[in-house]
A and B are shown apart, each in its own frame.
Chain A
Amino acid sequence: MTVSTLVVAEHEGGFVKPSSLSALAAAEAIGKDNNMVSLLLGGSGPGLHKAAEHAASSHPLVSEVLVADSDAFAHPLAEPWAELLRSVQQKGGYSHVIASSTSFGKNLLPRAAALLDVSPVTDVTSISEPRVFVRPIYAGNALCTVRYTGEDPCMMSIRSTSFSPTEAMSETKVAPISQVDLSFLSEGSSGKSAWVNLKSQETERPDLANARVVVTGGRGLKSAENFKLLEQLAEKLGAAVGATRAAVDAGFVPNELQVGQTGKIVAPELYMAFGVSGAIQHLAGMRDSKVIVAVNKDADAPIFQVADYGIVADLFEVLDELLKKLPDKK
């Protein structure tokens, strides 16, 4: 079976984002042979063209990089992006379209799928055949294997923690870069939305979704002030800081740190949960972590059922001791 895949990629600072490299790994899982992968990048300015060069040598399967250079794609607005995706799909006739389940991918892919009149598959965690996928349902408490039986393209968003990006390849193969014809932009609904601004927390810590170590606080942290202790621990471990819904709702930390069914999905090597009870919705976001540590004074907290190592104690005492005993990060 011949496969041709379009990967919708995100970029930042002149590089393809790690989550999009995971989408390339998913393209590889669909088929290594006879799989021509095209990678679509949009935006404007020098960062886009630098990212296109990065994309061109990002994976051995990438056979073409398509660049949509327009101010219309400078911000992640679903309306112009969905029309871009429809237009590129109609020209390229791809059998598969893949994006990562980031807020960008989740916003864009279903809209584009509706324009193409096909049903996408959300949050694929495993690919067993080119049209057979596994995805979590019910907050990860069940795994559903589905077979897509509809028309081309088979569209999916993938869970990036389930597909490890291939190591950067050598310079031997560089895919050609071409510009996308943007004449479709004059029609359509592109003018109906406008981007105003993005408020983000500047942080020097690793990105939560890709961090090797994550330390998370729940309601047990009691205050925003106390979260600083977690940040100190994160500093020592080179970790990202996460939070439960309760901690976000209480205003301890901003919402983009929320881990769970409706927040971010993480699967780090080490996940340390302080004052986290372990509600179904939180476990959905971290149960695939390699090693889970839980510190909670309630011995019956559900978090201990998934933890590899647990300490039943006052989290502040444990945090203090950890901060004293762990060496500073090299």
Chain B
Amino acid sequence: MKILVAVKRVVDYAVKVRVRPDRTGVETASVKMSMNPFCEIAVEEALRLREAGAASEVVAATVGPAQSADTLRTALAMGADRAVHVLHDPKPSHPLLPLTVAKILRALALQENPGLVILGKQAIDDDCNQTGQMLAGLLNWPQGTFASKVILDKEKATVEREVDGGIETICLDLPAVITTDLRLNQPRYATLPNIMKAKSKVIKKVTPEDLNVDIRSDMEVVEVTEPSKRKAGVILSSVDELIDKLRNEARVL
């Protein structure tokens, strides 16, 4: 069985983003970019399933500008077998929507015919949390979102999901779409030999047009602003003072 993993290049999670003065978006030029953390977990899970003998091949895919190839190289260095880069460079006013990405991934899934598609549960830039669910809907496959544990056999996947009330277990017929939560696994670091080896692995380049997918932008970014700043707080010296402030100044006790 083949596993398709979708990865996204985003501003590194540790960067404190700055809104551009012209309010068209956040500053991304000369900012450190990395693989979206949830996508790393997705790659790791696919590799573990392959290492456990449940899958034979791991294909990484991304949709994005030329620089997104770095993210695919990272996935290849972690251990993915090959990669597909769907080249698209969106305008800041009309960012690439999850529905479009899902349509592109559907086209890839129909070509590659995987038994499982794994994605992160959300990208930490747009925080949409949509693509996996949309892909599953478009393919008419079952979905296991926010997965913290995946057990695979030939025809079924048992998925433990992180839901509001606790951990929910569901059973899905394959093929299926799974999105990863933080606690699914601890992604590995790519070692230097594997980074070298990844340079000779194949990244196939295609365009949305090659896949017959229209880039539709139904969402227009009007402006991006900074959230309101909280007013400066005070450092107190004792618990008595804290209780007094909470009771008489903030009136929350």
Contacts and interface: CB of A to CB of B under 8 A. Distances in A.
Interface in B138-154: 138, 140-146, 148
A194 B133 contact: no
B40 interface: no
A111 B176 CA distance: 13
A311 B230 CA distance: 18
A184 interface: no
A299 B237 CA distance: 12
A249 interface: yes
A306 interface: yes
Contacts of A188: 140
Contacts of A201: 166
A151 B216 CA distance: 12
Main secondary structure of the interface of B (DSSP, over half): mixed
Interface in A284-316: 287, 290-293, 299, 304, 306-312
A325 B239 contact: yes
Contacts of A237: 253
Contacts of A175: none
Contacts of A248: 183
Nearest to A202: B166
Nearest to A208: B164
Interface string B148-165: 100000000010011111
Contact of B220 (A149, A189, A264, A299): A149
B124 to A, nearest CB: 6
A189 B176 CA distance: 11
B121 A262 contact: yes
Interface string A138-161: 111111111111110000000000
B189 interface: no
A245 interface: yes
A114 B99 contact: yes
A138 B182 contact: no
Given A290-B252, A291-B250, A122 B128 contact: yes
B146 A77 contact: no
B222 interface: yes
B169 interface: yes
Contacts of B234: 308-310
A114 B137 contact: yes
Nearest to B223: A145
A270 interface: yes
Nearest to B160: A199
Interface stretch (A44-52, A63-71, A101-109): A101-109
Interface string A62-104: 0000000000000011110010000000000000000000111
B162 A78 contact: no
A147 B95 CA distance: 12
B225 interface: yes
Interface in B185-243: 216-227, 230-231, 233-240, 242-243
Q: Which 4 A-B pairs give the minimum distances between C-beta atoms? A: A150-B218, A200-B166, A114-B137, A114-B134
Interface of B: 11, 13-14, 16-17, 19, 26, 38, 97-99, 102, 121-122, 124-138, 140-146, 148, 158, 161-173, 176, 181-183, 216-227, 230-231, 233-240, 242-243, 245-246, 250, 252-253
17 contacts: A79-B143, A106-B145, A110-B130, A118-B99, A122-B130, A138-B11, A142-B17, A144-B223, A148-B219, A150-B219, A192-B141, A199-B167, A254-B166, A255-B167, A322-B243, A325-B240, A326-B243
